[in-house]
Amino acid sequence: HFNHPDYQTEWWYYTGNLRSADGHKFGFELTFFCQGVSRGKPQTSAWDVHDIYLAHLALSDLDGGRFYHTERLNRAGPGLAGASEQHAKVWNGNWQVQWTGNQQQLQAIAQNFAIRLVMSSHKPPVVHGKDGVSQKSAGGGQASHYISFTRLLTAGTIELDGKEYKVEGTAWMDHEFFTHQLDTNESGWDWVSLQFDDNTELMLYRFRHKDGSIDPLSAGTYVDAAGKPTYLGVTDFSMQPEKESYTSLETRAIYPIAWSVSVPALKLDLQLTAPLKSQELVSSMGAELSYWEGAIAIIGTRDGKPARGVGYLEMTGYAKREQSR
């Protein structure tokens, strides 16, 4: 669950849907990225840059209609950022997740909001893909190791503009490490994590080619109530954008924020909607690194019966360099 220095890129992704005692709804994201830049060179100082650590933090005030996000960039230095199995921790400054047995304690403090949560895994981790490898495109090495905790029972506090909310809900954690880059024919991806009220989960992603077609190695995983995963290939599901969209005022990107999903073998037919349209994380390092990631609601049917829940939707590659102001 910690660092894998033999790989070029690694990330730890936390997202979740939370609610206060009076019903106020929030979504959150805390992501730690590690990118190797000069590994293999002798280290002469604690300040030598061998890895770059980027972190993103976002809070969706779903009932208040506001989206807050910030980012930070660090080198490891003398303990500024890192992922340590010895200390059971992933961190970037005072943003951190500390592991203690079956629990993960998350803390992130920003200028006008802070998140402090305790997350307990309700199910064993899920390894996505076939035989432990999540193939992303054709060819050797075009793959990752991808592990998720799909149902983290979560409780804690959110501080926003001087007010503290005690919250409960569920979170999802993704950990992925790889060396490949996206295939040159791919323009981005659409990804969803869905947590249903019946204690099951579904993860789907589709890679978009520059010509608008979908990569045949797009895939997903269904997790039953007991925690057993089932691999889904691209022909096992449909994930299609609907007409509703959000146009970013900052990057001019147009994001489809309503989706229809079906998994025939599971008799699942779903509609995914975003209660807050403006959940785009705009990167200070360029519009092309910006992406939409936000809380979503699920309504639909499973075998003719109501299927409901919450989730997160991520869309990358919609903002381009030439679109920014």
pLDDT per residue as tens digits for the range 156-205: 999 999 999 999 999 999 999 989 866 778 889 999 999 999 999 999 99
User: pLDDT tens digit string along 3-42?
Assistant: 998 998 999 999 999 999 999 999 999 999 999 887 667 7
Give the number of residues written for the chain. Answer: 325
Query: What average pLDDT does range 140-161 have in this prediction?
Result: 94
Is the model more confident about 139 or about 231?
Answer: 231
Is the model more confident about 303 or about 36?
Answer: 303
Q: Please tell me whether the overall predicted TM-score, pTM, comes out greater than 0.85 for this model.
A: yes
From residue 22, give the alpha-carbon distance in Å to each of 25, 165, 166, 167.
9, 9, 9, 10
Check whether 324 has a pLDDT greater than 50.
no
Element (H, E) at 237: none
Two tokens, residue 188: 């981005």
What number of CA atoms fall less than 13 Å from residue 252's CA on the CB side? Answer: 7
The pLDDT assigned to 317 comes to: 93
DSSP state of 211: T
Two tokens, residue 146: 């991808």
Confidence of residue 287 (pLDDT cuts 50, 70, 90): low
Percent residues over pLDDT 90 in the chain: 79
CB-based contact 18:26 (threshold 8 Å): yes
